[in-house]
Amino acid sequence: MPQQPAPKPQPLITLLDDTLANQIAAGEVVERPASVVKELVENALDAGAQNITITVEEAGQRRIQVRDDGCGIGQNQLELALCRHATSKIKTTEDLFAITSLGFRGEALPSIASVSRFSMTSRSADAADAWQISTEGGNTPRIKPAAHPIGTTVTVDDLFFNTPARRKFLKAARTEAEHITDAVVRLAMAHPYVSFSLIADGNESLHFDAAQGDLLEGTLPRLADFMGRDFISNAITIDATRDALRIKGFVGLPTYNISTPRRQYLFVNNRPVKDRTLLAAFKHAYHDLLAHNRHPAGVLFLDIPPREVDVNVHPAKAEVRFKNSSDVFALIRGGVRRSLEAHSQTVSNTGTAQALRSFQMGRQPLSHVQIKAQLGRGKHVPMSDFTQTPSQGGWVSQPTIGGYGRPPSFDLADQPQAVSQGAATAEAAHASATHFSAHPLGAAVAQLHTTYIIAQTDDGMIMVDQHAAHERLVYERLKHQILQKKVEQQPLLIPDVVELAKADAALVAEYAEELQTFGLEVEQFGPAAIAVRATPALLGHMNSKTLLNDLVEDLRELKQGISLQTRLEETLSTMACHGSIRAGKRLTIDEMNALLRQMEQTPNSAQCNHGRPTYVKLSRNDIEKLFGRR
Ligand code: ADP
Ligand code: MG
């Protein structure tokens, strides 16, 4: 018989001492120097400060100091402020579910004090003198008289000096410094009426004066710092309500899109949060305006009655939970979508600005660094400034032959197709110009490279990407026909048989009924092939093989959950892309004008289904600047 192992002796249970308990809490609350900055600035905001100065040394590892002119703390309360679960912000369970302050857990100060050399100097409004409390690693604090105006200064030195393991997890100083800046800007964005200053190693790296007037307006200067000027000139405002909920903010035009979701910022009752539901709702608003792998940018402020949101779900209060998240989802998705549709004829001006710069800068467009330096001068820099600084070798002093520096009309004359077409259509173009130039998208005058349409408008010119524009038209028309349940079909005389992987063929067959509503008739043809019997008439002749391969990708994602309606619309945009006028098709002036007129009638026609602009605009003003007439 094998011997039974001796039973394990029961280990003794003991109550942790306060310091250790605080250090454990610090593990969650104080992840890095930026978390300390965040907690201290939140305390200053909760104290009603008007001015907040943050000083850091060595990316916060040597020193973090936050000074405010808030209500201050009286001498007899100082020691309590450093105790765990000591807070002035809530008193009852009831309060916990209707939080209006940034803090409420009573954990930040004791946690921070337990992992640093900590001191807090404060004077409350009704006190004649200031007092200072200090502690090292959370040991018994000392209190002594000090000098300080009404308000509080908290100094945190040598963070993690007594928990070296945590220190090891810190990233390079530059990264930690970026986190600090990010934390300050996020809080500053949500509190535009408070002035902020961040001083890093003796240099003021951020400065925001207190804003006046409207909240959104007031946020703008901070927004420029946070999101970049490029974002501001490509963003539209949103302000929508649904019962007691309100969403306001700035969202990027669909044509201003990026490869990651990191430029999306959310505030719930002025608290910076990360929330997947809200972010998903935001992305959803762009669903058929952007390609799958592109992301919109935006800054959104949600106001919600405090009872409708639970902020006590995350130790650093970075996440929240909504009582009724579907209402919030609907408000964000709907509000953003409506704003986008109201601006559906607006294109990102980044393309125009880049085009202008290319024209103006000759063969040496400004480097990124130069542009940054220009923008860094503070006030908005008009385009003309870019050309007039002698050190940049502007186009005036550097005439170039060919390439970027050439006025567009030369390029036009040089194009063989434009020449041949030019003579034949000169009359038509002239007639068109007198006829249509009052229309928003103007009168077609020429086609370049059988790909771009040039149109003259009352106040400038427009260049249209014919494929992108047609793709959007086809898509919107097909969507309309589907809504009306009247999709015209074009039966194929001989079905197109496309071979696919077994699983893919089965997948397409499974969705045959849905695809039929789009006018696409497919049928399983043996285990590993699909026969296409009819296509939507609008799409004209399509390459069934590439279409089906793209559809399979869409349907796979459909399998993964997201709403049927949305995914099908994406499928639709895939189909529209296959059925559009390809670049390279020669168009007559009449056909071009027809396309322009249709674009004016079509929702969202400023971008194709993948978020690329369908046209760019040069105002007469811009053109005159190019030629030094202004
Ligand atoms: P919480 O913010 O969750 O209440 P903290 O540990 O951050 O917990 O702060 C404890 C208490 O100390 C606060 O409730 C507040 O009363 C006081 N306090 C902290 N910082 C300040 C400050 N800068 N000005 C005035 N009071 C402060
Ligand atoms: Mg706090």
The pLDDT score that the predictor gives to residue 384 is 26
Q: What is the mean pLDDT of the chain?
A: 80
Is residue 362 a contact partner of residue 404, using CB atoms and an 8 Å limit?
Answer: yes
**Which atom number of ligand 1 is nearest to the Cα of residue 111?**
6
The pLDDT score that the predictor gives to residue 40 is 98
First to last CA, the chain: 103
Among 41, 84, 100, 109, which residue has the most ligand 1 atoms within 8 Å of its CB, making it the best to mutate? 109
How many angstroms does the Cα of residue 108 sit away from the middle of ligand 1? 8
For residue 322 and ligand 1, the question of a CB distance below 6 A is answered with no
Helix axes 276-284, 325-342, angle to 10 degrees: 30
Q: What percent of the chain has pLDDT over 90?
A: 36
Q: Confidence class of residue 580 from pLDDT cuts 50, 70 and 90?
A: low
For residue 51 and ligand 1, the question of a CB distance below 6 A is answered with no
Beta strand pairing call for 298-303 and 264-268: parallel
The pLDDT score that the predictor gives to residue 417 is 37
pLDDT, tens digit, 9 for 90 and up, residues 156-188: 999 999 999 888 899 999 999 999 999 999 999
How many angstroms does the Cα of residue 216 sit away from the middle of ligand 2? 26
Beta strand pairing call for 489-499 and 529-536: antiparallel
Distances (CA, A) of 316 to 41, 320, 547: 13, 11, 48
The answer to whether residue 566 scores a pLDDT higher than 80 is no
DSSP class of residue 158 equals S
User: Comparing 581 with 49, which gets the higher pLDDT?
Assistant: 49
SS3 174: helix
| Beta bridge partners of residue 310, listed in sequence order | 321
Closest ligand, as measured to the CA of 107: 1
For residue 148 and ligand 1, the question of a CB distance below 6 A is answered with no
CA 545-546-550 angle, to 5 degrees, is 120
**Which atom number of ligand 1 is nearest to the Cα of residue 86?**
10
How many angstroms does the Cα of residue 43 sit away from the middle of ligand 1? 5
Beta strand pairing call for 309-310 and 321-322: antiparallel
Which residue, among 77, 81, 69, 62, has the nearest Cα to 153 in the 3D structure? 69
Burial grade of 431 (CB within 10 A; 0-12, 13-18, 19 or more): middle
Q: Which of 42-51, 513-522, 582-591 has the lowest mean pLDDT?
A: 582-591
CA 418 to CA 399: how far, in whole Å?
A: 25
Element spanning 29, H or E: helix 18-29
Is residue 551 a contact partner of residue 514, using CB atoms and an 8 Å limit?
Answer: no
pLDDT, tens digit, 9 for 90 and up, residues 30-86: 999 999 999 999 999 999 999 999 999 999 999 999 999 999 999 999 999 999 999
Which residues contact residue 559 at a Cβ distance below 8 angstroms, ignoring those fewer than 6 apart?
507
- Which residue's alpha carbon is at the smallest distance from atom 2 of ligand 1? 103
SS3 75: helix
The pLDDT score that the predictor gives to residue 267 is 94
**Which atom number of ligand 1 is nearest to the Cα of residue 109?**
6
**Which atom number of ligand 1 is nearest to the Cα of residue 90?**
4
Q: Which of 119-123, 466-470, 540-544 has the lowest mean pLDDT?
A: 540-544
CA 133-134-138 angle, to 5 degrees, is 120
Beta strand pairing call for 195-200 and 51-57: parallel
| Beta bridge partners of residue 477, listed in sequence order | none
How many angstroms does the Cα of residue 72 sit away from the middle of ligand 1? 9
Among 28, 36, 43, which residue has the most ligand 1 atoms within 8 Å of its CB, making it the best to mutate? 43
For residue 123 and ligand 1, the question of a CB distance below 6 A is answered with no
CA 42 to CA 109: how far, in whole Å?
A: 11
Q: Is 423 left (phi over 0), alpha (psi -120 to 50) or beta?
A: alpha
For residue 69 and ligand 1, the question of a CB distance below 6 A is answered with no
- If you write DSSP's letter for every residue of 401-460 in order, what string do you get? -SGGGS-HHHHHHH-HHHHHHHHHHHHHHHHHHHHHTTSTT-EEEEEETTTEEEEEETTE
Can you count the helices (H) and strands (E) in the chain?
A: 23, 22
Q: Which of 163-172, 537-546, 596-605 has the lowest mean pLDDT?
A: 537-546
The pLDDT score that the predictor gives to residue 127 is 93
Q: Which of 189-203, 345-359, 378-392 has the lowest mean pLDDT?
A: 378-392
For residue 105 and ligand 1, the question of a CB distance below 6 A is answered with yes
The pLDDT score that the predictor gives to residue 146 is 97
Burial grade of 547 (CB within 10 A; 0-12, 13-18, 19 or more): buried
The pLDDT score that the predictor gives to residue 244 is 93
CA 94 to CA 549: how far, in whole Å?
A: 57
Sheet holding 489-499, edge to edge: 489-499, 529-536, 521-524
Q: How many CB atoms lie within 10 A of CB 311?
A: 22
pTM of the full structure: 0.67
pLDDT, tens digit, 9 for 90 and up, residues 393-444: 222 222 232 222 222 222 222 233 333 444 446 666 677 777 777 788 889 9
CA 504 to CA 547: how far, in whole Å?
A: 13
For residue 26 and ligand 1, the question of a CB distance below 6 A is answered with no
Among 46, 68, 96, which residue has the most ligand 1 atoms within 8 Å of its CB, making it the best to mutate? 46
Per-residue pLDDT, averaged over 579-592, amounts to: 75
